[in-house]
Copies of this chain bind each other. A is one copy, B any other.
Amino acid sequence: MKLVHTPTGFTISHKNRTVFEHSEASPALYLGIGEGNFDMYRGNFDITDYVIERLPLRQFKVDSFERDGQEFHSIGFYFDGKEVIQMIVGETAESRLKAEFEAIDKSFNRFWMRVAATEEERVFGCGEQLTYLNLRGKNFPLWSSEPGVGRNKNTYVTWQADVKDKAGGDYYTTNYPQPTFVSDKKYFCHLETTAYADFDFTNPEFHELQAWDIPQYILFDAEESYPELMTNITDVFGRQPELPEWVYNGVILGIQGGTDITIEKVENAKKAGVEVAGAWCQDWQGIKMTSFGKRLQWDWQWNKDLYPGLDTKIHELKEQGVRFLGYINPYVLEDFPLYDEAQAKGYLATKEDGSKYVVDFGEFYCGVVDFTNPEACEWYKGVIKSNLIDFGLDGWMGDFGEYLPTDCSLSNGVSAEIEHNKWPYRWAKVQHEAIEEAGKTDDILFFMRAGGTGIQGYCHTLWGGDQSVDWCLDDGLASVIPAALSSGLMGNGIHHSDIGGYTTLHGMKRTKELFQRWAEMAAFTPIMRSHEGNRPGDNHQFDTDEETLTHLAKMTKIFTHLKPYIKDAVALNASQGVPVQRPLFMHYEQDDEAYEIKYQYLFGRDILVAPVYNQGETVKRLYLPKDKWVHAWTGEVFEGGWIEVDAPIGQPAVFYREASSYRDLLDGIKNA
């Protein structure tokens, strides 16, 4: 790093990139005082801030010192003649640039830092973003929440969701926000805070990073290439382990309704030629009916009434090569056994006065297991180990994590407002450790939608959350692609989504075509898993007709055919953090167009996928970066640019590199 300073300003650069530019006229740091308001309704937040003060910190003083043979700079920022905050800047042992903050005046709870930018710069990341890949030109509030239904104020579905449930969301709403971005200057920047944050990329000259707390530090590093940058990023945040071998054996069928139905549906699928890796029954612990649709009974143990004989059938299925997966989340249903036990032991979050606190999840109420209490974590790990793993589950959806209300009281004494964004991380850690302690990391698959800083090392795979069962860009099939790419850039290289989507409300019904297009995309992701949706009766399902089964069979054949290729990509993700689904620019960094393509991706190094995401489309227009690309169905070779190819149902627009070392395998896609 380099610090150059004059009496009225300083510049900090790192690996030839300017990071901070501070001058009295244009300061890099502002502190302030705000009164935030968090209005939560079933995981949807209406957040407002009354900013009482926002003070430019113009005056500064630089002191330099040595620590462990390294040069550090302590920059004191002054306001009204008094030092209010100190920033200690230096390189870490890994040569990253780190600036630690220490508040001298503790009265400030708002922080704005300007990171130097250039007008053409593009930035990516900020967790899992479903609407934008390049984030420039917008601001991104970073707060874990329900992802929103529709996510676009211009659509009927969003409007209805807003009016009825305050649930419509917007372009930035996400289960997984992270105060980290990646720049096309091939650096990443991370602000270490779990407070509400907002990264504003609208200004041509700087990125303004806001946090509702004084962050611990800001971290930067740059590399010569994007894959190297991914390794660096995952050195910081952790890496996902490899997937269990069985996951590559076919689709995980989302089924509900009991033991017999599950077995019957699996059999039917197999008969139709579908490669089945597992059955995922989220209702394994029973259901509740609400006006939203079928909801689950949140008491995390086998429900003998709905799943009679599952304790033996689960092993029979496994012998037949079909794993059984369930569901859990970090809340316990009021007045049910787990709740009562947790309540008695003091493992639940409380009101400020220590009294009972439950959260409204939509016509039922639950206690929040207090993961800031190590004993509560141990207890919940025990629940997972005995009720899920020992029972025989080979995986589960580890749902939720976004609902920590800001007005509850936690065991560690930290404000729930500060803990909120950390909750998904805590929830992932509990699950990961339970699996690890059971010695099953290689064999159990769990997937989460919620996320945050550090989840990379604990959550084994993300799923894209609750897409609408429709074609809308911001919340339908298409939205899964930027979601995979942005979260991949944060180091979550294994991503997948509910085949066919989930949210079935406000008149939406899943069509056959949508299901099929989604399955076609899923065949080119590391995991194939279907979902019936919240109102299964309104949706086209994998077994609704023979044609759908046959089509799905073909897609699972392609998926299993690609097993060696996908396994290698997953292994690379586990060892070096290079995501399985990658934005085009990761390997074509000289290609300007590649940075703006958000609805296509590279699947591993050699496959390029351009999913059809518009209803009725059978000719696909897409962009190929300069290379030699073989069209998977016709063998025709393209050299780059915007092209059109036929993409009827069953033949998704997929290409692979002529120069691929997997060439023989890839040539076999068309006959899989």
A79 vs B79: C-alpha distance in the bound complex, in angstroms? 10
Q: A54 — nearest CB in chain B belongs to which residue?
A: B54
**Whole-angstrom distance from the CB of A151 to the nearest CB of chain B?**
15
Binary contact readout A51-85 vs B (1 if CB under 8 angstroms, 0 otherwise): 11111100000000000000000000001110000
A483 vs B79: C-alpha distance in the bound complex, in angstroms? 47
Q: Is A32 an interface residue (CB 8 A)?
A: yes
Q: Is A163 an interface residue (CB 8 A)?
A: yes
**Whole-angstrom distance from the CB of A165 to the nearest CB of chain B?**
12
- Residue among B52, B80, B154, B163 making CB contact with A163, cutoff 8 Å: B154
CB neighbours of A156 from chain B (8 A): 159
Q: Is A153 an interface residue (CB 8 A)?
A: yes
With contacts A80-B80, A162-B153 known, is A51 near B52, CB below 8 A? no
CB neighbours of A30 from chain B (8 A): 52-53
Residue among A30, A53, A154, A162 with most chain B CB within 10 A: A53
**Whole-angstrom distance from the CB of A192 to the nearest CB of chain B?**
25
With contacts A159-B159, A162-B153 known, is A53 near B56, CB below 8 A? yes
A interface residue count range (under 10 / 10 to 19 / 20 to 34 / 35 or more): 10 to 19
Q: A58 — nearest CB in chain B belongs to which residue?
A: B80
- Residue among B54, B80, B81 making CB contact with A51, cutoff 8 Å: B54
Q: Is the CB of A53 within 8 A of B51?
A: no
Residue among A30, A32, A159 with most chain B CB within 10 A: A159
Q: Is the CB of B56 within 8 A of A54?
A: no
Q: A158 — nearest CB in chain B belongs to which residue?
A: B159
CB neighbours of A51 from chain B (8 A): 51, 54
A356 vs B126: C-alpha distance in the bound complex, in angstroms? 44
**Whole-angstrom distance from the CB of A37 to the nearest CB of chain B?**
10
A159 vs B30: C-alpha distance in the bound complex, in angstroms? 38
A80 vs B79: C-alpha distance in the bound complex, in angstroms? 8
- Residue among B52, B153, B162, B163 making CB contact with A56, cutoff 8 Å: B52
**Whole-angstrom distance from the CB of A256 to the nearest CB of chain B?**
34
Binary contact readout A146-189 vs B (1 if CB under 8 angstroms, 0 otherwise): 00000001101001001100000000000000000000000000
A32 vs B51: C-alpha distance in the bound complex, in angstroms? 12
CB neighbours of A154 from chain B (8 A): 162-163
CB neighbours of A56 from chain B (8 A): 52-53
CB neighbours of A163 from chain B (8 A): 154
**Whole-angstrom distance from the CB of A362 to the nearest CB of chain B?**
19
CB neighbours of A53 from chain B (8 A): 30, 54-56
76-126 of chain A: CB within 8 A of chain B: 79-81
CB neighbours of A153 from chain B (8 A): 162
**Whole-angstrom distance from the CB of A167 to the nearest CB of chain B?**
13
Q: A139 — nearest CB in chain B belongs to which residue?
A: B50
CB neighbours of A80 from chain B (8 A): 79-81
Q: Is the CB of A32 within 8 A of B52?
A: no
**Whole-angstrom distance from the CB of A110 to the nearest CB of chain B?**
10
- Of the A-B pairs whose beta carbons lie under 8 Å apart in the complex, a sample of 5, sorted by A's number, is A52-B54, A52-B56, A53-B55, A54-B54, A81-B81
3 shortest A-B CB distances, which residue pairs? A54-B54, A159-B159, A154-B163
